[in-house]
Structure 1
């Protein structure tokens, strides 16, 4: 049983309770849903705006930090100057770092130690977050501040920066574990140019502890349970509050499902909906990502949801208590009317409803019920029987009229006599009499059969052609007949014996008076959903007075298609028009157009039908 069937079988009292309860709860649910939707939307927008600003500022701070570190090593790269008795031939006053980079290894024994001291002094006097420094030449030589030149191992060759191509721009390698110190560091690769040739001479590699970066990010943390982390463009985690993730590929951690298709979105992370926003650094290409649990930003929704539940329970209780009492007042009179209608259903029209003065709709309904039963009692037998009898009478009258007109046009001749004449003509070899007798006999058989009221246009034209063959034998020299009917129209149905009477009138009034000098043309064309058949002659036409009388008779028949048709002794145009109107309706029938001394055109309009109506 579907919901509609169940509801329709309930009482008005139950329906009122269900409707009011549904309306109240729907209103609360709709209000709650809209409030939650717009609150969530506002919370998301606020987060996205705040996170975008915060990540942008954090990105700028990190970029500024790296830029400052790059500037701070510029004096280190340029100096200090060597002693005059050192390796200075053809090198002017270039610093020891410059000389070592371009020396190709031919240096004094003290140069490496001096450079190590310079690097150590820089670290000690400037930045405590520097883990280690490496100076690397174009030919692969390297000096570090943490190992003596004569003790340095080849472990630096396993560093990710060692095998990289020398570049003319600053480059940052994301967090990785140093093979020399074993700590997680960020490598800043600073290109070093020769002060003499201004060409690239090597690079200074500064391995930075992430402690300073961590201090900056921790200071920028926001919201409860919210945090920042940094992802390199290669997908490595540069920084994360969980130190175990630092240096790992993003796809190998619990954050593997994160997508960075849009700058801000809501994404599931470890089964929890998270608000995610990020900003990409122009200097490093790293993404500073801000994340916060969605439920933290939308904590106010829980309060609103609880308030909505309380309101729903209160309204439901009120509806269940108040509505039955109110419904009882309205349903009691309706139940009485229902009982009265059951009596009417059984045929008892003498029962009356109790009416209380007033404008209550139920009282008005009771008065209407009393009037209805009185009127039904007075008219149900007389009016009902009259209508049924009248309709039956009109149907019988229409069927009888069609049958009478059909019988009226059928000739009462004995076509067997024509068969005898045809046989005698055949024996005596008189072909013209034989053709006349045969065609006339076929036509009598055709008109005598009234089993089917409609036939195809093909059958009608076939009979008309036989009649015109007889006329041609009578007027062999000058009489002509033409048929211009397309093959696609020949299956259209038409009332039987519709063309023949019109053709006979044409021969009688247009061909015979002129001694056979005449032409009959039959054509057809479609117009919308109808078929128009035209029968034209080149006779003297019909006078205006006679044409007006004839048209008036046709109009009277058209106006009385649902009434008793006027009696007509005519076997021609009027008869055909009457049968067409009775068969198809007042829209169809004959139209006559005549031109004095030029001829007459009779148009037959019938519906474009090719399927015979089913027998009733």
Structure 2
């Protein structure tokens, strides 16, 4: 409500006023308002900023830990998948029993050992890597070859872990933190089944035993702050990690865990901040939804950072500057926006986009008059360009027709008929076919009765052209067609497809080594005609294709066509279709240099007269 009132007052005070008056009014506002506001804000004190900074810092650190957590287990899963792929690709079986007289089984064991040791040596934080058969029998392991330290794995927790691995028949990574021997050596253990992708059956499973410090390093960014603690708790309540290492492996208090995660579970959120009497606590659900991460920062650390006097002084200064800056910015933006908008419109027109909409602003007399004058001038320019463009089109059309009329068509027809008759008499059917096709193309091209023809007539002209091309290139050229008969009665401009096919042959046959293919597809899709001309030639030069795209964009936004040659080429075909179908034309070229080109033309299906 207040912004609307301010805006209304500014409109009344500044609309259609001179820039000098607006600047004077702005200076008065910038000078008076901060003085009043600073006196009021001097009495305001707040420590919420520091608390918010601590909260944001906690969230950033938690996000960093979650990201590292995902990456940590993702790398373990990659090692497990690599092992499974190695077993399947090399037809290695995880045999339960080893017969040393069976060379195939011995080779299996050797290959498994080679892979395990290469994986162990690639990462420096493994205690060991173990492999088990599908029935839970130990097969092989990798350990540190420098110390040759082998662990007993005889703790009660590890026996429970081995049972959990045995029962994990899904293609899923599971993990736990527990002592792997009776001496209490803590380790992060992760396991994943080895699944045969062809049968879907489990072949066995692999267990990675990693140093606890490698897992603890994920949480160290948060622990570096004095008094801060962080812990990872499974859904079952087991503490998988704690800043106090003595707590790892214990069961968290059910009442405390329920209180900490109750709101998180009921709301479905992934992060929840709570504040108790002494700590700010942030609880997050881990990405795999099977564990909670709980961090806490003592409120005493936050409160110790608050200095009332300093906060009052800084708050007054910052808010005063902010208000002065904000108000100055709003006012300067209000004054300069019309000029910037007009300047931007002028730049668009300078680039040739004559259809640019000119903003008419009434913020002051000068910009209003300037905008109206520029809009009037642009209208006159567009009319002149349109007139010049239409004159150029008529001139080119007249030149083309005049050039065609210089040839006596009856003389050419009669000559071609004589050649065809001689060829028939001499039984040279190929020459007869070529001359008849050429005669039909000549009649079609110089028939000036109508520029618009049925698609069927344009296809017939292309077939005559294809016959001549096949006679020239023989087996080097393969022509493919897929013509939808429903599209034949609809109209198209004469001599639209032949130049595009000729261009495809030029780049698809003449420059290509080996057999070339030119394909013509014509289909009716709902209320549109879709034509595709595809070749497997050398493709467009990237600069030439970029030049054509610039030409399309320029012709779409202006009435201007650059003066050029007289030949009926790609640009001429596009412009003729653009004049006929307007914005309903879609003309797209997809070309890969060295692979070929596909031209797709889409326009409305209009019945031919």
Structure 1 and Structure 2 fold alike (TM over 0.5): no
Bigger Rg over Cα: 1
Could you say which TM-score interval applies, normalised by the shorter chain? 0.3 to 0.5
- The alignment's TM-score, normalised by the length of structure 1, stands at 0.33
